[in-house]
Amino acid sequence: MDAPAVFTEGDFYQQHFDPQEYMKEFYTLSDGQGQPNTFLTQSLRSLFKMFSLDGLRGDTLIDVGCGPTIYQLLSACERFQEIIALDYTDQNRRELERWLKGEPGAFDWRPVVKYVCELEGDREKWAEKEEKLRRKVKQVLKCDVTKANPTDPVSLPPADCIVSTLCLEGACKDLATFRSALRNISALVKPGGHLVMLTVLGETYYAFNQQVFSCLRLEKNEVEEAVEGAGFEVKFAETQPWPPGDIRADCDALLSLVARKRAPTSG
């Protein structure tokens, strides 16, 4: 499948992004042929590892660009008391709300929740974890990472941690916008707080359900420089190769990164 020649604007997401199809494609533990979903299990293991690092805990976590998914919050919800989820697309926020409220027809995350519980040492705690996550997500709000205040007109108090998975590279059309988006979301976290990121490297598109979405092609050093430029110090960075032969995206690797926000220098 050819990469889109043009940047996929927010309006296109709003009209064409189907959250149920997206989750079916990327967030089931095995594909239609029964092959394991390496991309998902790698992501879950990376998030487990990052949220186990020292100092990654606190009162509030903000998820920037949550999409319709919860996988990125399963390890996080053990470390933070309340979670605020942000996404640009109305149908993604609605889909997330459906799961949070336990509505019929919501995506079945149980296999993924069980997988994470197994990483944490007790697969049988899955129902308890689902309940905990539903209780901790306090708000689901619209956001636009290209705005100076991404949650405008709402102003959120700075959080102890922000997590952003597979969001900025889809939302930013060039490196300058990516750098600026990182500065924008940096305002959502307090000095000394953390940024946890999962980002794809070397990707120009991803596709599902006959729709192709553009992606900003990033290298590891570009991501790290942009994170440092947004006032953070990178504490942990690890890349894993993208599973070969996966035609749903032309990605090279998955980057997991944790950074700590520097305190402002006086005068």
pLDDT (tens digit, 9 = 90+) per residue, 38-49?
Answer: 999 999 999 999
Q: What is the mean pLDDT of the chain?
A: 94
Q: Is the overall model pTM greater than 0.85, yes or no?
A: yes
Rounded to whole angstroms, the Cα distance separating 201 from 259 reads: 18
The vertex-258 CA angle with 256 and 264, nearest 5°, equals: 150
In this prediction, residue 223 carries a pLDDT of 98
136 membership: H or E segment, kind and range = helix 126-136
| pLDDT tens-digit map of 191-249 | 999 999 999 999 999 999 988 999 999 999 999 999 999 999 999 999 999 887 788 89
- Counting residues of the chain whose pLDDT is more than 90, the rounded percentage is 85
- Encode pLDDT of 44-71 as tens digits: 999 999 999 999 999 999 999 999 999 9
Tokens read off for 108: 């079945």
Q: Percentage of residues in the chain with pLDDT exceeding 70?
A: 97
